[in-house]
Structure 1
Amino acid sequence: MRFLYLLLFCVTLTILPGFEQPEDKEEVTRIIEVDGDPHFVKRDIERMLPRLEVMAVYDTVFNGIAVKGKPAHLSKLSKIEAIVNQHPVQTYRTMDENLNESVPFLLQENREKRTIPFTGKGVKVGVIDTGLDYTHPDLAANYKGGFDVFDFDDDPMESIEENPTIHGTHVAGVIGANGRMKGIAPDVELYGYRALGPGGFGTSVHVIAAMEEAVKDNMDIINLSLGNDVNGPDWPTSVAVDKAVELGTTVVVAAGNTGPDDWTVGSPATASKAITVGASTPPLKIPVLIDRFAKKEIPLIPMMGSTDWKLDKRYQLVYGGVGDEPIDNAQGKIVVMKRGIVPFTEKAELAEKSGAIALIVYNNEAGEFQGAIDDGSINIPVVAVSEEDGEWLKQQSDSSKTGWVDTEYVDIVDSLAPFSSRGPVTANWSIKPDILAPGVSINSTIPGGYQKLQGTSMAAPHIAGVAALIKEAHPDWQPKDIKTALLSTATPLKNKEGKLLAPTEQGMGKVNVPSAVQPKLQIDPSQLNFGRFNSSYPKKKIRVQIKNTSKSSQKVHFSLPKKKHGLIWDLPKAFTLEPDQSKSIEIGLNVTSVFLDKGLHQGWIRMAVPDQTFDLPYLFMLETSDYPRAMGFEIAVSDFDSSTYDYQFYLPEDADNVKVDLYNPDSLMHERTLFELSDQQKGVIEGELSSHEIGKDGSYIAVITVENEDNHYSYGIPVEINNFH
């Protein structure tokens, strides 16, 4: 029996990832959480179970070990009493264009003169990523060392030959390039920790091991431009992040690229003490398709790896399906294709061979998306548009009279990137991301040169660089002080109508570097997370510490938000803070649930001093909301017994009942119940099924039903069960 593979895609766009089960003779790895000293447990394993290999001991940011061995040998770990829990090895990936624009833009300076007197000198920054090319002329002077947890040596070079990577070098350049290009903090001490191997993939074993190395090397700041899709605060990597912060390291994490829906921030960006970064735009010129007769404007989203869209006249449209058949009459035209079946690069190759001047790929589901093609392989521009806009373009392409479009170029700045993942976080119902930084069209260092990339991966190192500037300016500040300075001084973004974007989209807003380095006031916490309200808890208070770090007295006063039926605020009266004086105040909220809808409620509280205003975001959930009820589902042949199957998933809150039913995808007739559980507490749920309970192979629709009190929530998910013997 080789393996059973189950891959689930939740309708809320949260991915419930599966894994491939190895053969009985293959070795597998598990992260083991232990009670007590993990070094003693390692010694016991080596003495009692010599056929198992202890790959790593975690005693800094996580209390446990990573153990590798054959399933039959791993089953004997149950003999050791100190083992508390076992975690499967999660897969982590990089979160993916003009440093010359984004850095001066953030620093609010011109190109000739750096107006901020700090450069990150003496600050140690660790980049946990795909490694970095420390021979790059813009990075060589600042590179000081690091570690490769893939090859277990002190050479964290990017993968060059097998599935080459560029991500870590790009991230490092944003933080601390100092050559032809300048990073945010061009004098930092850069360290590389290679936790993601060929192709940009790694596991939780590698990520935690890299964090261990970085913390032991006394990094002041760690950047993690990686993540998975589990929206929960208590997965091992999130726990490790919080522990690293407690030990004195500021940890900056990319929010993820699965927006624009809510609840899409994934671990470790869900860690409470992390600085979680979403993506905004630096100054850009965005191409927009125009049809003046139809009064239609369609913004184009460049695919990563594509050449720039530089069309400057009117072109005709032609429809190319999904790119699986030859395209007739495409010479000199813009080809429109639908997303799906054929990879983007192959679509682009077909369009280019057909003589097209450009390719537009539209989404096969609601909303916009971010795509990529193989860099350097295509010579025509390739862009993405939403499903709605794409269907309109397809209709126009059917007519030789109306199927023509012009391109105009629109200046855009400080806009929220559509791909940037949104919060809040399940289980603790808190605001994420914390802050925004440029993450669109960011040009930075890669092995052998420079390249534009986009994603929250590019936004996070901007914040890591700013954190280095703050650390240089205030050497005695702890991670909490640095985070507070960043968040207290951020500038909330507004939409076209002048209304503030939601806190779960932007956190505190766009980073304001000069103010963050020398803040006038520090507000801790800056975000007002009230959690969940119900009839038993209609009133809550949050204690906030406000410190005057300026050289003059500051009179502080609060303004009530716009009146909303069902909300009564209790805000402090005006008070004055002298230089270096702190004051603890309470902000209270009384909720009358009968006047409010169930679900998320969020907004802003205005606080002001004579020459500055501060907008503090608040969030609470009334009773319940539309968050994903189950995440991180995994099921596979047991490591310990090939006749049984282990499953695991994550519940953000307690559930009275959880049931998984399988349906025929063609007839939608019920086939069987896979399993049913009752009285489940929130957190990681584990169990096993027999071969008989798993049943026969095939494609199914799995309906996962979570029941709680009088409510039930069902998710229809395509499932492929392959049980190979």
Structure 2
Amino acid sequence: MLRVLLLGCLLLFATKAEATVFPNRPPVPSSYENEQEIAIVETAPERMKKVQQMIRREYPNIRVRCVYQTALSGLSVQGSRKELRNLAKIPGIARVTPVAVYKADITESVPFIGGAKVRGYFDASGRRLSGAGVRVGVIDTGLDYRHPDLRRSYAGGYDTVDNDSDPMESKTKEPTQHGSHVAGIIAANGKLRGIAPDAKILAYRALGPGGVGSTETVLNAIERAIKDRVDVLNLSLGNDVNGPDWPTSIALNYAARAGIIAVTASGNSGPSIWTIGSPGTATQAITVGASTPRLRIPYLHVAGREFRLAQLGGAKEWNLERTYEWVDAGLGKTADMKNARNKIVLVKRGELSFAEKVQNAQRAGAKAIIIYNNMPGSFGGMAEGAAIPAAAMSGRDGAWLRKQRDSLAGTVFHTEQDRLAGFSSRGPVTVTWGIKPDVVAPGVGITSTVPKGYMSLQGTSMAAPHVAGAAALLKQAHPNWTPEQVKAALMNTAKLLYKGKQPYHVYEQGAGRVQLEQALHPPFLIYPSSLSFGLIRSSQGHTIRKVAVTLDNQTEKVQKYVFEMPQARPGIQWRLPHTVYVKPHEKQRVVIGTELSAFTLREGVHEGYLRVRSGSTAAELPYLFFVEEPDYPRIMGFRFVKGDAPELYRYEMYLPGGADELGIVLYDPATFRYVDYIMYRQNVTSGRVREVISVKQSIKGTYKALIFAKKGKKEDIIEKTLQFQ
């Protein structure tokens, strides 16, 4: 508590000092302004030709790299930083967005999504469903199309990193395997069989060595997939920007309108709220969070207590049957492993990589290693090739365990399934207040194909292709269904997951865990399948919000629909349709309304599930609204790097709602003494903020930095350690 007060006082003092600090800033050299960058320019289709003409006339030094007509209405352009900033002045240009970095979403055997996979899935005519005739695009790190389990499924693709027709995984000093693992979950057809083994995979390599790409490479891949007329598109990638207006999110909405079932991972930044990233914020895409399949989970038993262990991917399975001594081995350095032989070693996360800690334990003769978090919460990771069992533990459990001296550790096993993975990113989406993820699917301990073999990995990257594979089977069974109908089938039939006696929040699981057998033959569909009533202000008093939904009868009989009244809550009065009858294979549009009393309702998030019943079948529609602007992060995606001259540094961040005041202030890491402002701006618009700043030569070394954004009465502060050379 004391530290929070100190930081608050520091910020106040720094704000007062700002007026005298900034006039002394050395100017940014003009050479930096002339350096080349790439940006995405958005414009309306009817303005495209005129905008290109004006760019050529007004800014002849700007080069148009790509023209997007399907995935996005806009251009990818390259030019000087100064000229790119000025592009926004051209009439008809809606937005100019610098490219962002995208990474493969992964925290570090046929997957389980419900139903008896052994006997297979069938359509209404009794035909076995295997994905035959369905084309699935995979935008990722490429594909090892020589793998014996992927050769039959591979049907071509493109490499938007190297701009050629060979989408093979990277084989450089930073080799990749992510795309092959994702593709195997969807359509492996060999020793391992995916969800839709007879589907054809079109691989689009948009992430290069190390699994890293850019907005431009991802947009180019989406554009090509639309032109190639894929039926399903999987993107197990993302960034840390929770914004519906990001170019890749907009592009996925275009893909859905073009008839493509777009599936994307929610991200691996959970368990906090607001952690979902683009393109998982795309309204019309199916955004997938991660749950656990049926797993045999090891628990460490020490001093009468049990602690859940998360096995690290690629390590030897945790199969210890008897009791062992354990030892605290610090950070897992070689010097910490003196007493590790034939014992379980407990080490703290940090300084060394997981692989280094495991290797040090192996060399010391340890039986197994447990890495506990150096911050609150759980985590997952990789220890590929570990010859001893390796697992992760929460920071709280590890801290307790360290205090238990002279204790023995045993292992007990519990069978678990349908728990939400701690790493799975949560919604909602900023600005639109939409519900994401839409569904969840297994993303823990998933074995699939990788170059030269197989591997078990975890992440929402593994959950999304479960849904992409399911979508391929739905498309085969119902070739005339639209992406909206496929999404509704998956959401309307999903299984709600519970944490104890209460369901997980709607912004954690959406409609629940996918159940493929039920989704293949739903008696009805309701879409949109989640209800966002937006933001309510106290000053509005009583307000009515409405959402129109479509009731889609999929049977040969007249269906009767009954909307069940949710549990009564003060300040919420539901206005639901009366009993509705829909004729066979027809649709009817109805309006769901709520009358909300902002005076009665508490501030914050309000959520739940609205049940719609027809006969013995019911669908749970997640709903959400906010009273007053929620406390979402005002600052996202902050990065700070060295510039191209001794005094120059670059920063970038994303502001979902803009800021009245934005600043970066430095203080001494030991005393919290105010040092200097290095940036301060007012009236900053929403979106990505990117700028080069010049820092005083007198500022050298390591500092703590407060980055703050204030909008109205809301203020967000993040703390970072910054180094100046």
TM-score range, shorter chain: 0.7 to 0.9
In the TM superposition, what is the alpha-carbon distance from 1:83 to its structure 2 partner?
A: 5.9
Match of 2:365 in 1: 355
Match of 1:150 in 2: 161
Match of 2:715 in 1: 713
Give CA deviations for 1:588-613 in whole Å, capped at 9, x if unaligned. Answer: 22223343331111111222222122
User: Structure 1 residues 78, 367: CA separation in 2 closer, same or farther (over 3 Å shift)?
Assistant: closer
> Larger deviation: 87-96 or 46-55?
46-55
* Separation (CA, whole Å) in 1 of partners of 2:696 and 2:157: 48
In the TM superposition, what is the alpha-carbon distance from 1:25 to its structure 2 partner?
A: 9.6
Runs of 5+ in structure 1 lacking a partner?
A: 1-20
> Larger deviation: 114-123 or 300-309?
114-123
List aligned pairs for 1:621-700, cutoff 5 A.
621-633=626-638, 648-685=652-689, 691=694, 696-700=699-703
Give CA deviations for 1:249-292 in whole Å, capped at 9, x if unaligned. Answer: 2210001111111111101101111110011111111111123x
Match of 1:558 in 2: 563
Give CA deviations for 1:345-376 in whole Å, capped at 9, x if unaligned. Answer: 11111111111101101111111111222x22
Are 1:529 and 2:536 matched, yes or no? no
Structure 2 counterpart of 1:416, one-letter code: L
Structure 2 counterpart of 1:379, one-letter code: A
> Larger deviation: 270-279 or 243-252?
243-252
List aligned pairs for 1:63-212, cutoff 5 A.
63-68=73-78, 85-96=95-106, 99-100=109-110, 102=111, 105-106=112-113, 108-111=115-118, 113-115=120-122, 117-212=128-223
Give CA deviations for 1:548-584 in whole Å, capped at 9, x if unaligned. Answer: 2123333222222222222222222223333223232
Indicate conservation of the 8 Å contact 1:326/1:350, yes or no: no
* Separation (CA, whole Å) in 1 of partners of 2:120 and 2:515: 18
Match of 1:343 in 2: 353
Which secondary structure state, in structure 2, belongs to the residue aligned with residue 511 of structure 1? coil
Which secondary structure state, in structure 2, belongs to the residue aligned with residue 106 of structure 1? coil
Match of 2:412 in 1: 408
User: Structure 1 residues 58, 721: CA separation in 2 closer, same or farther (over 3 Å shift)?
Assistant: farther
For 1:390, which of 395, 398, 417 is the aligned residue? Answer: 398
User: Structure 1 residues 69, 558: CA separation in 2 closer, same or farther (over 3 Å shift)?
Assistant: closer
Match of 1:601 in 2: 606
In the TM superposition, what is the alpha-carbon distance from 1:130 to its structure 2 partner?
A: 0.6
Which secondary structure state, in structure 2, belongs to the residue aligned with residue 234 of structure 1? coil
Indicate conservation of the 8 Å contact 2:252/2:262, yes or no: yes
For 1:302, which of 311, 314, 335 is the aligned residue? Answer: 311
> Larger deviation: 260-269 or 408-417?
408-417
Are 1:318 and 2:327 matched, yes or no? yes
How much identity, in percent, do the aligned residues show? Answer: 42
* Separation (CA, whole Å) in 2 of partners of 1:642 and 1:391: 42
* Separation (CA, whole Å) in 1 of partners of 2:417 and 2:329: 33
For the aligned residue pairs, the C-alpha RMSD in angstroms reads: 3.0
Give CA deviations for 1:616-649 in whole Å, capped at 9, x if unaligned. Answer: 111111102221012234567899x999877653
User: Structure 1 residues 205, 553: CA separation in 2 closer, same or farther (over 3 Å shift)?
Assistant: same
* Separation (CA, whole Å) in 2 of partners of 1:700 and 1:228: 26
Structure 2 counterpart of 1:613, one-letter code: A
Match of 2:476 in 1: 472
In the TM superposition, what is the alpha-carbon distance from 1:720 to its structure 2 partner?
A: 1.4
Runs of 5+ in structure 2 lacking a partner?
A: 1-29
User: Structure 1 residues 34, 595: CA separation in 2 closer, same or farther (over 3 Å shift)?
Assistant: closer
In the TM superposition, what is the alpha-carbon distance from 1:154 to its structure 2 partner?
A: 0.9
List aligned pairs for 1:467-616, cutoff 5 A.
467-497=471-501, 499-535=502-538, 536=540, 538-616=543-621
Which secondary structure state, in structure 1, belongs to the residue aligned with residue 657 of structure 2? coil
In the TM superposition, what is the alpha-carbon distance from 1:334 to its structure 2 partner?
A: 0.6
User: Structure 1 residues 546, 695: CA separation in 2 closer, same or farther (over 3 Å shift)?
Assistant: farther
* Separation (CA, whole Å) in 2 of partners of 1:604 and 1:79: 45
User: Structure 1 residues 524, 79: CA separation in 2 closer, same or farther (over 3 Å shift)?
Assistant: closer
* Separation (CA, whole Å) in 2 of partners of 1:705 and 1:556: 50
In the TM superposition, what is the alpha-carbon distance from 1:112 to its structure 2 partner?
A: 5.1
In the TM superposition, what is the alpha-carbon distance from 1:543 to its structure 2 partner?
A: 1.6
In the TM superposition, what is the alpha-carbon distance from 1:78 to its structure 2 partner?
A: 8.7
* Separation (CA, whole Å) in 1 of partners of 2:643 and 2:363: 49
TM-score calculated relative to the size of structure 2 = 0.88
TM-score calculated relative to the size of structure 1 = 0.88
Indicate conservation of the 8 Å contact 1:22/1:28, yes or no: no
Match of 1:8 in 2: none
* Separation (CA, whole Å) in 2 of partners of 1:49 and 1:678: 29
Are 1:289 and 2:296 matched, yes or no? no
* Separation (CA, whole Å) in 1 of partners of 2:238 and 2:317: 29
For 1:57, which of 53, 67, 78 is the aligned residue? Answer: 67
User: Structure 1 residues 638, 288: CA separation in 2 closer, same or farther (over 3 Å shift)?
Assistant: closer
Structure 1 counterpart of 2:461, one-letter code: S
List aligned pairs for 1:392-471, cutoff 5 A.
392-396=400-404, 399-400=405-406, 403-471=407-475
Indicate conservation of the 8 Å contact 1:548/1:578, yes or no: yes
In the TM superposition, what is the alpha-carbon distance from 1:693 to its structure 2 partner?
A: 7.9
Give CA deviations for 1:216-250 in whole Å, capped at 9, x if unaligned. Answer: 11111110000000111111111111122222222
* Separation (CA, whole Å) in 2 of partners of 1:22 and 1:256: 38
In the TM superposition, what is the alpha-carbon distance from 1:655 to its structure 2 partner?
A: 3.8
